[in-house]
Amino acid sequence: MVAADPTARLVGGIRRGDRTGYGVRWDGPALTELPTPPDQFSTPAAVDADGTAFGQAGSRPVRWSTDGTVTDMALPTGYTAGEVTLLNDHGVVVGEYGGRPVLWR
């Protein structure tokens, strides 16, 4: 488990036998794998009160909605990698790209 929301939804990661990893969301007893592009890993870092998870898929910062939709989070022009590190109570996602801090709202 990496993070929890106020309703006790949890996000975290699971490692397969071949040592590849993928993100998951627990909503009560239900466990759901977070969609990840082929040959990539996923690492959730935060979850909000609506159950939306935030983290990385491969080297891209992403948002996983509760319906399973994965959305890339915008990076500045010229950058292709970044990571999410935390989410505050106001819905601001904090992360970094190229060693620089970034906020997503």
| pLDDT given at position 61 | 95
| pLDDT given at position 92 | 94
Q: How far is CA 8 from the centre of its chain?
A: 17
| pLDDT given at position 19 | 65
Q: What is the mean pLDDT of residues 29-52?
A: 87
The token duo for 75 is: 């990076």
The token duo for 65 is: 């909605």
Q: Which residue has the tokens 């979850």?
A: 47
Q: How many residues does the chain have?
A: 105
* More confident: 58 or 7: 58
pLDDT in tens, 46-78: 999 888 999 999 899 999 998 989 999 999 899
Bridge partners (DSSP) of residue 12 are 24
* Average pLDDT for the chain: 88
| Full DSSP string of 23-36 | EEEEETTEEEEPP-
Q: How far is CA 59 from the centre of its chain?
A: 11
